[in-house]
């Protein structure tokens, strides 16, 4: 007898678990762009943030709930009345909304909260009831479930379902589980929680031992029907189960897993690129599905095999994740309409001043570089999105720098502030350092560089370099992004963007 193919709910936590990990913070505009793309990808649920964590988080969840159509919009809340009320308010504009409330259930979490199991159970029940009075769709999580006492785990799950939880999530919060063991945990929950068939079982696995995806698939085989995952596998520490690996494993091994998702896999590549472009953090070349080499066949034998018969070495096609060769999309004669249309196709919805500024940058780039690729456009728009909420206090007018063997790296920079142009020079350890020192002298803002990432946006001699930095100014961290065919200019723009955020009311990245 043929087994039924089960629908697996894909719950994306890129904007919550992913965004809260170091180096991945996004501003509201960037989160919105990501959420719109996740809707195109057709995930079932978008966990948009943790509204009680900060005003910025609340605003981002609220904006996503207002503007993103399709997926359920979820917010995270501790099992505390204030968190739940704030979360309910944040997700309110969404047509389909979910409150995801959680409590730590393992011995160490209980100790940390100074709660007995009975007290934690009572808090969970009250939280679920409070959430259920505000939204129809409530999810309850037992944080650190894989290290929780089994009898207590069954009790608290039963109580939460009775209180109105429609989804119960079993997180392997610290990435401790082994696939067979984690699968058994799910099987035991099904066997021991009397009302379990009234709720969907979800899993949320971390990759500390590199088994987040394997554990998630093992859970599916044992009855889990929702997987929590993140694009490019981002998330706390080693990250969450990677969305693209989960989806493509289910799609490719449907024969074995008897499961399917509603994700449009052809949007996977684009979604991964968008996240890289927004955060400046790349994935390793050998990363499954979305790494640069994932579909490259370098060795002679393999190339020969692929040419003769694709299926010899290829279990998935590049097209199935939407991977196409970089195409020349625009040139210097392309107009504003073609420019904004292509941006829309790439998933960016920018308008007004930001669109004008991006178009100016595009024209300047087209003067230097004949062929403009999608990746170049992503870099230009990424810069605009990153800076969108800050007033441009200082603007670059001119810069030059020199460096060489046995010479002293020197830079001269002119910046405009209102109608005034200020020029200064500095020496440094290298041309970027000298340029940074000159900018600091002019702006009077001294920052400490916490991270500096540079990547080549496209291949070739005249490629665009994109610099993403994090700078600590005063007690806060700011991200800055700059792109140019000259890496020193890209670096200067990135620092200027971060300083403008500090001076112009832009949002700090660190929480
Ligand atoms: Mn997590």
pLDDT category, 242, cuts 50, 70, 90? very high
Q: In angstroms, what is the span from residue 317 Cα to ligand 1's centroid?
A: 31
What mean pLDDT do residues 18-45 have?
A: 93
Where b means 16+ CB within 10 Å and e means fewer, 54-69 reads eebbbbbbbbbbeebe
What CATH topology corresponds to 6-279? Answer: TIM Barrel (3.20.20)
Q: In angstroms, what is the span from residue 115 Cα to ligand 1's centroid?
A: 22
**Looking at the domain that runs over 395-504, which CATH code has it been given?**
3.30.160.270
What mean pLDDT do residues 387-415 have?
A: 89
Q: In angstroms, what is the span from residue 433 Cα to ligand 1's centroid?
A: 38
Q: In angstroms, what is the span from residue 192 Cα to ligand 1's centroid?
A: 25
pLDDT tens-place string over residues 243-253? 999 999 999 99
Q: In angstroms, what is the span from residue 172 Cα to ligand 1's centroid?
A: 8
pLDDT tens-place string over residues 211-225? 999 999 999 999 999
Q: In angstroms, what is the span from residue 278 Cα to ligand 1's centroid?
A: 21
Q: In angstroms, what is the span from residue 320 Cα to ligand 1's centroid?
A: 28
Q: In angstroms, what is the span from residue 241 Cα to ligand 1's centroid?
A: 10
Domain parsing of the chain, residue ranges: 6-279, 336-387, 395-504
101 has pLDDT over 90 = yes
Q: In angstroms, what is the span from residue 319 Cα to ligand 1's centroid?
A: 31
pLDDT tens-place string over residues 257-307? 999 999 999 999 999 999 988 888 889 989 999 998 898 765 555 556 666
In this prediction the pTM is 0.85
Q: In angstroms, what is the span from residue 31 Cα to ligand 1's centroid?
A: 18
Q: What are all long-range contacts of 186-190, with beta carbons under 8 Å and residues at least 24 apart?
A: 186/218, 186/219, 186/222, 186/223, 186/224, 187/222, 187/223, 188/150, 189/153, 189/154, 189/157, 190/222, 190/223
Q: In angstroms, what is the span from residue 483 Cα to ligand 1's centroid?
A: 32
Question: What pLDDT does residue 511 have?
Answer: 39
pLDDT tens-place string over residues 141-164? 999 999 999 999 999 999 999 999
> What is d(CA 118, CA 389) in angstroms, rounded to the nearest whole number?
46
pLDDT tens-place string over residues 411-458? 999 999 999 999 999 999 999 999 999 999 999 999 999 888 888 887
**Highest mean pLDDT pick, 51-65, 339-353, 366-380:** 51-65
């Amino acid at each position: 007898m043929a087994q039924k193919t089960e629908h697996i709910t894909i719950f994306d936590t890129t904007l919550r678990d992913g965004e809260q990990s170091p180096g991945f913070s996004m501003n509201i505009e960037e989160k919105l762009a990501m959420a719109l793309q996740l809707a195109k990808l057709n995930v079932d649920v978008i966990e948009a943030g943790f509204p009680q964590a900060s005003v910025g988080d609340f605003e981002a969840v609220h904006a996503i709930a207002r503007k993103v159509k399709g997926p359920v919009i979820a917010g995270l809340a501790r099992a505390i009345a204030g968190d739940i009320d704030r979360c309910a308010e944040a997700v309110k504009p969404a047509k389909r909304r979910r409150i995801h409330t959680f409590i730590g259930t393992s011995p160490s979490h209980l100790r940390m909260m100074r709660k007995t199991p009975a007290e934690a159970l009572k808090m969970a029940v009250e939280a679920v009831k409070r959430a259920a009075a505000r939204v129809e769709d409530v999810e309850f999580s037992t944080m650190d479930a894989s290290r929780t006492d089994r009898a207590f785990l069954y009790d608290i799950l039963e109580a939460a379902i009775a209180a109105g939880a429609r989804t119960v999530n079993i997180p392997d919060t610290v990435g401790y589980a082994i696939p067979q063991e984690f699968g058994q945990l799910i099987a035991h929950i099904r066997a021991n929680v009397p009302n379990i068939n009234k709720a969907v079982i979800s899993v949320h696995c971390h990759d500390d031992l590199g088994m987040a995806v394997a554990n998630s698939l093992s859970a599916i085989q044992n009855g889990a029907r929702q997987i929590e995952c993140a694009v490019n596998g981002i998330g706390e520490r080693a990250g969450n189960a990677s969305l693209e690996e989960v989806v493509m494993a289910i799609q490719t091994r449907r024969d074995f897993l008897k499961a399917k998702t509603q994700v449009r896999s052809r949007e996977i590549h684009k979604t991964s690129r968008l996240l890289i472009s927004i955060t400046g953090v790349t994935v390793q070349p050998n990363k499954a599905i979305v790494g640069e080499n994932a579909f490259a066949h370098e060795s002679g034998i393999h190339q020969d095999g692929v040419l003769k018969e694709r299926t010899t070495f290829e279990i998935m096609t590049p097209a199935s994740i939407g991977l196409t060769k970089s195409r020349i999309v625009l040139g210097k004669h392309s107009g504003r309409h073609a420019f904004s249309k292509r941006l829309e196709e790439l998933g960016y919805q920018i308008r007004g001043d930001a669109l004008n500024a991006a178009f100016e940058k595009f024209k300047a780039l087209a003067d230097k570089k004949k062929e403009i690729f999608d990746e170049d456009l992503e870099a230009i728009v990424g810069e605009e999105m990153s800076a969108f909420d800050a007033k441009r206090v200082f603007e670059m007018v001119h810069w030059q720098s020199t460096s060489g063997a046995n010479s002293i790296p020197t830079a001269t920079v002119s910046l405009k502030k209102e109608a005034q142009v200020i020029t200064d020079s500095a020496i440094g350890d290298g041309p970027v350092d000298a340029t940074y020192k000159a900018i600091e002298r002019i702006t009077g803002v001294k920052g400490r560089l916490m991270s500096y990432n540079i990547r080549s946006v496209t291949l070739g001699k005249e490629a665009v370099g994109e610099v993403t930095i994090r700078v600590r100014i005063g007690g806060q961290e700011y991200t800055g992004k700059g792109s140019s065919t000259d890496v020193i200019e890209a670096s200067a723009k990135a620092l200027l963007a971060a300083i403008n955020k500090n001076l112009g009311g832009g949002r700090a990245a660190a929480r």
